[in-house]
A and B are shown apart, each in its own frame.
Chain A
């Protein structure tokens, strides 16, 4: 499932010597590179690559969807590995013009997709065996976590992305948040809406969450529990009654990288403890 955008450059080079100077775009890709033990080959990262902490010492070429073409070239990469959705298109095309191989790994919020992503990154780095080993390890870890998380009384979880301006943006169907909630034995409280959407107060009341899940970040996410539950939308919910809020690191929770098992475990424990 590797899509190599710079296939021409690769095909024409007799012995492609790439991957000594790797630019990693996307938090989960960077995590995988570190888990594979290939971090010495990294020369740069994007702004979503914040784990492990050592990664933040690398030059930051900007947000994954708003890469600066010259910024990308300035770290002088001979290989770019990226999550799906790197952009803008113009920046990616300029990389091709400069004959920098650009590998976009597969994406998705299932166990299969995570394992494929790991294999893709390992293949791009020419360490497929390490990739298989890591995939097996992550698979076992995730299976164990999911088994642990299984419950016959799943809680209704509302993932709140933002409360900016007093309006609640929450995760609907087909989102990374829904996927991780379900892996952790919960159900997404929001039904019939797809993507991350601003919800009306009534829609939230109807969603009737047992637990509110948020990203553990600063800025407008740093709303206090009191402020959150003072919001009229939550007034009548079970979550407000039991004051159940779970806050997790965004990259861990929604990254779908090698730590996906840890994410499931952490969330499952938090959901069990919430409100009890």
Chain B
């Protein structure tokens, strides 16, 4: 269980998040969506302990504000939007650093499996700096995956916390990465992802938290949250949710339908 209560984040004297309650269950992908500046990434950074906050946030009972970095790292790994690497490491080396920097993980065969899992088989010896943006992002995802390889560890579920994991990927790799996240969740792990693409969210997430202006508009199962009214209010534009039986949902701007 990942649970946050009454989270308030002040940055530069401004309230970026105001009294946010948020919860995510293992076995599901929980998406955080909302317009630009709504506080999605700030909420994620509070959950990963990157910004100070008042309130309470716990991952599987670990207090995010007080737990040691290595205790948290054993429970969850993080893919941030920042993918810069300082020195000319290879792809395989970066994944291996993810396995070994703070939490001692398995050997190099795990590196290969993690790379294969994100569709980067054979990329191991390549210099990270020579890759495209999408390939770098997938390398970072493999790195994060290698850190908490087993969706369920000896003492409970592990968590992947992803900040816009498909932001710079083509559609095939978007599906590949979201499938990876779904598989991780289906195997008992927890996934929290900040998403921009509402259609991908509708397709893969089970639970959604919709943010606007630093507050939760609503949170719950995707079908309950994704209504014309909720989305239009949060994004301050007219949006329509279309459902195609049996199970596909897509969201379109209202104007486009006209």
Asked if A and B touch directly (CB within 8 angstroms), the answer is: no
